[in-house]
Amino acid sequence: MRAGTEESFRDKIVLITGASSGIGEELARQLARAGAVLSLAARRTGLLEEVGRAIREAGGAEPLIMECDVTRDEDPSRAVAQTVLRRGRLDIVIANAGFGVVGNFAKLTVEDYRRQFETNVFGVLRTLHAALPEVAKTRGQLVIVGSVAGWTASPGASPYAMSKFAVRALANSITPELALMGVRVTLLSPGFVESNIRRVDNQGRLHADAAEPMPGWLVADRRRAVSRMLRAIAQGRREVIITGHGKLFVALERFAPWLLRAAAHRMAATRGGYRREPEST
């Protein structure tokens, strides 16, 4: 992380959801090194404790560890309340919790889509609604972790892509509204980044021993990707596309969408029946 970026986060009170692994964990580690004071929230408190221990051993400030399931209405509100009670204020909230439901449309159920939206869309909404009154007091920042899948959808990933299109629409709509309150909104749209999301099944269960299904050359290094994310947050960017392949996909969607449509038809034709194709965070 660049020196100027580090200075932007020094002594900032930051709440991160989904902080137990992947992008959320790396955000926590890098923010702690930059001098931020962290509240870490996730369902898996055992993993959160490990992240907190690593931060302490590296010399970072003691993070506040909180169990939080963003699909439950009360949990994000409790995380915000505990943060303000212990820290006195809230400067930045990063709505990172999410996973991917994938599969061929004919074999998915409405419940599969509902489960996806409860975490990736309504979980974000719960987090932002809970945080907004406190973040408005500090004229702070709301950060949404979206995806390149919010720009271009691929066969076999309709629930995930729908959820990421939805949060991108949310960010586009609320950015000018919340600017009137002095609150900045930043949407992070990564492509494939090193994380556990492609090891989580459609029920939200982690299979830690599962192999990474994507070829290594296509998966971006987590540390570098998160460093770019934090630079965008520090700069108050409205949206940033992370990873080179992510930028390519977005450019094709904007300027040559027929190429992506042709590729999608070929992909669907070669896949045939159901087969899991996890997407990026």
Please check whether residue 18 lies inside any domain of the structure: yes
Please check whether residue 194 lies inside any domain of the structure: yes
Please check whether residue 35 lies inside any domain of the structure: yes
Please check whether residue 215 lies inside any domain of the structure: yes
Please check whether residue 257 lies inside any domain of the structure: yes
Exposure b/e, 209-229, CB count within 10 A at least 16 = b: eeeeeeeeeebbebeebbbbb
What is each CA distance from 258 to 136, 150, 249, 262, in whole angstroms? Answer: 42, 17, 12, 6
Contact call for residues 255 and 151 (beta carbons, < 8 A):
no
Is residue 38 over pLDDT 60? yes
Is residue 222 over pLDDT 80? yes
Please check whether residue 220 lies inside any domain of the structure: yes
CA distance 93 to 71: 17
Please check whether residue 276 lies inside any domain of the structure: no
- Tokens describing residue 145: 């972790």
Pick the more confident residue, 203 or 211.
203
> What pLDDT digit, counting tens, does each position of 56-85 carry?
999 999 999 999 999 999 999 999 999 999
Sequence-separated (6 or more) residues with CB below 8 Å from residue 66: 39, 40, 41, 45, 48, 78, 79, 82
**Which residue segment(s) compose the domain that 250 sits in?**
3-271
- Tokens describing residue 53: 């221990």
Q: For the chain, what is the domain count?
A: 1
Whole-model pTM: value is 0.87
Is residue 20 over pLDDT 50? yes
- Tokens describing residue 77: 């509100």
- Determine how many CB atoms are found less than 10 A away from the CB of residue 259: 11
Question: Among all residues, which ones are annotated catalytic?
Answer: 160
CA distance 164 to 150: 4
> What pLDDT digit, counting tens, does each position of 253-281 carry?
999 989 888 888 888 877 654 444 444 44
Residue-level pLDDT at 24: 96
Please check whether residue 254 lies inside any domain of the structure: yes
Which CATH number belongs to the domain containing residue 181 in this structure? 3.40.50.720
Return the percentage of the chain with pLDDT > 70, whole number.
Answer: 86
